């Protein structure tokens, strides 16, 4: 199968190198064409036994992927209408299927099902839905360049990370650190991202694909940490956990005081964090 928004090259070991490169664009963004083709690739990847794993990277020098194409919103009468919501939901489902290998929670918990390994190689910025794609991969490698930005800035335009960012970041960083990152919308550089468990490995520029390939070939069957038995949030979470209780009791008041209620997504973000950790 051929695609217009990315290329797929499969090596002799069955590892697919997926290179996102939107035609006619200086930066990769999630638009309808990329979402549709990514869904199709996910289906094909999971169904093809000859494909043993994948590495996702970018063909753009400007970065990995900068989130949603906000022009999709501007072309509509209502900025966040049902079509926009549905697009995000489709992307979220595709990312989760890639993460779980298409297996149900029951198959993972009861039958020990695992997924094909998927890693991402970041030579440039990954923001919003770009970082959410990376977070859905089992292994994340980023180039050691302090100018690279990794973050979820959606709150700054009244949105939230709707493709899994509000769920995966707390499971990697801990609830409080993730909440600060999501509600402030400020990006981090590669070394800080590694210190906060957002990425696994920081390597020399130009070596990310090689490092990602090495990991994929060494890990033929995998699961995300939160799909493994006994997983616990770093630092604790949940309304009855002391750390979670303290966060939720003061978090809403502090967030609203700092934002002066000028950022409409803050309340929705807090709701997502609460629902996802209980």
pTM, two decimals, is 0.92
Residue of 154, 201, 210, 275 with catalytic role: 154
Percent of the chain whose pLDDT exceeds 90: 68
Give the pLDDT of residue 75: 54
- 3-state SS of the chain? CCCCCEEEEECCCCEEEEEECCCCCCCCCECHHHHHHHHHHHHHHHHCCCCCEEEEEECCCCCCECCECCHHHHCCCCCCCHHHHHHHHHHHHHHHHHHHCCCCHHHHHHHCCCECCEEEEECCCEECHHHHHHHHCCEEEEECCCCCCEECHHHHHCCCCCCCHHHHHHHHHCHHHHHHHHHHCCCECHHHHHHCCCCCEEECCCCHHHHHHHHHHHCCCECCHHHCCCCCCCCCCCCCCHHHHHHHHHHHHHHHHHHCCCCCHHHHHHHHHHHHCC
Report phi then psi at 57, rounded to 5: -145, -170
Report the run of H or E that residue 182 belongs to, with start and end.
Answer: helix 175-184
Residue 10 lies in a domain: yes
Residue 201 lies in a domain: yes
Higher-pLDDT residue of 181, 243: 181
Residue 77 lies in a domain: yes
* Alpha carbons 143 and 123: distance in angstroms, whole number: 5
Residue 74 has pLDDT above 60, yes or no: no
- pLDDT (mean) for 21-26: 96
**Residue 114 pLDDT class (50, 70, 90 cuts):** very high
- Determine the structural domain holding residue 245 and report its residue range: 6-276
Residue 20 lies in a domain: yes
Write out pLDDT tens, residues 184-194: 999 999 999 99
In sign, the C-alpha dihedral spanning 139, 145, 146, 152 is negative
Q: Residues near 208 by Cβ (< 8 Å), separated by ≥ 6?
A: 57, 121, 122, 123, 141, 142, 143
Residue of 132, 201, 210, 275 with catalytic role: 132
Residue 158 has pLDDT above 90, yes or no: no
Give the pLDDT of residue 76: 52
Percent of the chain whose pLDDT exceeds 70: 87
Residue 22 has pLDDT above 70, yes or no: yes
Residue 52 lies in a domain: yes
Residue 197 lies in a domain: yes
Higher-pLDDT residue of 265, 135: 135
Give me the residue label for tokens 């696994």. 200
Nearest Cα to 227, choosing from 85, 71, 106?
Answer: 106
Residue 24 has pLDDT above 80, yes or no: yes
132 is catalytic: yes
* Alpha carbons 125 and 111: distance in angstroms, whole number: 38
154 is catalytic: yes
Residue 21 lies in a domain: yes
**Residue 270 pLDDT class (50, 70, 90 cuts):** confident
Write out pLDDT tens, residues 192-230: 999 999 999 999 999 999 999 999 999 999 999 999 999
* Alpha carbons 247 and 182: distance in angstroms, whole number: 15
The angle at the Cα of 156, spanning 147 to 180, to the nearest 5 degrees, equals: 75
Give the pLDDT of residue 264: 76
CATH label of the domain that carries residue 126 = 3.90.226.10
Residue 1 lies in a domain: no
Tell me how many domains the chain contains. Answer: 1
* Alpha carbons 176 and 1: distance in angstroms, whole number: 43
């Amino acid at each position: 199968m051929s695609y217009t928004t990315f290329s797929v090259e499969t090596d002799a070991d069955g590892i697919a190198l997926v290179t996102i490169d939107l035609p006619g664009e200086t930066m990769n963004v999630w638009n309808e064409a990329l979402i549709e083709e990514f869904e199709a690739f996910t289906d094909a990847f999971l169904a093809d036994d000859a494909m043993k794993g994948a590495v996702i990277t970018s063909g753009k020098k400007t970065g990995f992927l900068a989130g949603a194409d906000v022009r999709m919103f501007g072309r509509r009468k209502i900025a966040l209408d049902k079509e926009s919501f549905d697009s995000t939901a489709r992307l979220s489902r595709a990312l989760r299927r890639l993460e779980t290998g298409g297996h149900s929670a029951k198959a993972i918990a009861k039958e020990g099902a695992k997924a094909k390994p998927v890693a991402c190689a970041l030579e440039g910025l990954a923001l919003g839905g770009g970082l959410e794609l990376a977070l859905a991969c089992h292994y994340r490698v980023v180039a050691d360049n302090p100018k690279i930005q990794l973050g979820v800035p959606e709150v700054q335009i009244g949105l939230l990370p709707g493709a899994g960012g509000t769920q995966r970041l707390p499971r990697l960083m801990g609830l409080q650190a993730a909440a600060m990152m999501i509600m402030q919308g400020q990006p981090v550089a590669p070394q800080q991202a590694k210190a906060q468990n957002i990425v696994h490995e920081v390597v020399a520029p130009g070596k990310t694909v090689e490092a990602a390939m090495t990991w994929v070939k060494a890990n033929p069957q995998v699961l995300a940490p939160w799909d493994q038995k006994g997983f616990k949030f770093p630092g604790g979470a949940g309304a009855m956990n002391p750390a979670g209780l303290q966060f939720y009791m003061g978090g809403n008041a502090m967030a609203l005081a700092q934002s002066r209620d000028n950022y409409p997504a803050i309340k929705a973000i807090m709701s997502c964090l609460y629902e996802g950790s209980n």
